[in-house]
Amino acid sequence: MNDFLANIVAQTRARLAQEPPADRAAAERAARDRTPHALTKALSRDGINIIAEIKAASPSAGDIVVNPDVEAIAGEYKAGGAAAISIVTERDAFKGSREWIARVKTLPVLMKDFVVEESQLVRGVAAGASAILLLASLLDAHQIRDFIACLDRFSCDALVEVHDERELERAVGGGARLIGVNNRNLRDFRVDLATSERLSRQIPAGVIRVAESGIKTSQDIDYLRRCGFHGFLVGESLLRQNDRAAAVRRLLS
């Protein structure tokens, strides 16, 4: 684990130690009120399935949208044809909030955070998440399997994110049914779409594949579709547009 991840994990664990116990009853109620495995359904559609992201900041880009109007941005994304919304909820480095999840009413929501404990999964489900990101850089295959089993009890999807072959092995060993390939190197933050092409060849048949980071144009989408991807997570390049709905439509064209 590099220094960037180690620092975030340390901050996350310190924060979790101060939080009250996760409310499983609230998670069960939230699960009953939404479509089961909604992200899987959204990404199983024919065509181009965009997961449009909302985040306030990132370590590589700095501030992106300060205090984002989550409802308005989600509405723009939906108007443009997005299949789902990703919300970065990590508080310290990304200036996010789990409370933002409940503000999206009409599309499946993927919660992106640095998950190291089951309590985070329960809180994410209770907040209304349809799916939760699991980072193979932080978890071994056994933990991934256990976390997927926890989410399955709430009919919630797990998107397992990988950056390289070793992490992909963990994801596959953990039984991941949705695998996201992040094209950003977390050591130097460089982006290379060829990472998706290389790892896609090693993802088992039947697994839903999501390409993440560095996607800016419809040509990028075409390239990644040829590599076998079903979903495309796009964040900063959409957030910085004046007309976000039109920007999503351009990716779909």
pLDDT digits (tens, 9 = 90+) for 61-116: 889 999 999 999 999 999 999 999 999 999 999 999 999 999 999 999 999 999 99
Tokens of 222: 């075409």
Tokens of 87: 């919300």
Which residues lie across from 208 on neighbouring strands?
A: 178
| 111-154 per-position pLDDT tens digit | 999 999 999 999 999 999 999 999 999 999 999 999 999 999 99
Instruction: Say what the pTM is.
Output: 0.96
Q: Which of the four CATH numbers 3.40.50.2300, 3.40.50.450, 3.40.50.150, 3.20.20.70 does domain 3-252 have?
A: 3.20.20.70
- Residue 99 to residue 97: CA distance in whole angstroms: 5
Tokens of 102: 């409940």
CA dihedral 59, 65, 67, 69 (to 10 degrees): -140
pLDDT of residue 2: 74
